[in-house]
Structure 1
């Protein structure tokens, strides 16, 4: 019998969805990046946030040519303000990881502006990219 941990209903925190599919997180495909260290740092930041930040991993999110991909999902309050998930590509170094953590700790989409240092790393969600190609 499988049991599931239930989390109390309440506001949803800013959530970082970290791709760990076919290319993201793979040292053979993207050498020179500490993939495990990046994920550990993101999880440590979530643990230290007092519940304002969450991290989860996902299988392939799609834009493999832009690995490592992190999707920053807005908190409940950010969604109330009209924010949508923000996709970040090429999150391969400590600076990018620091910027993602700082933005998420500041509230993330809808509550804080995207750091200028991440603006060039913003990528369209795969569904948006497919619509533009039609």
Structure 2
């Protein structure tokens, strides 16, 4: 289980680890974006340079809040709630934040009680 925090504008922030191709891990802050319904993780292309993940599919067209955008799909390794996952990662331009997609909610339980300051994600199903 990981505890998150609430942003000033209602964002749901969680700390996750990205695993670089050489095995090194580093923590990043990600926003759970329930509007990102077709993916697990989205990052800016500049962030990808240091990670060295392998591209799977280039130039996928996706509908975003800003309209149609193109993303490259990479195979990435992340650690969320203490468990390691190999997932497809959408990489695009001008993404101001790292986004956790709502597909995480297929395997994780989200508990939100804003008045009490409770925000957690817990793995309930893993392959």
Give the TM-score normalised by the residue count of structure 2: 0.28
TM-score with structure 1 length normalisation? 0.27
Whose radius of gyration is greater, 1 or 2? 1
Query: When you count strand as a share of all residues, which structure comes out higher?
Result: 2
Structure number with the higher helix fraction is 1
- Bigger RCO (CA 8 Å, 6+ sep): 2
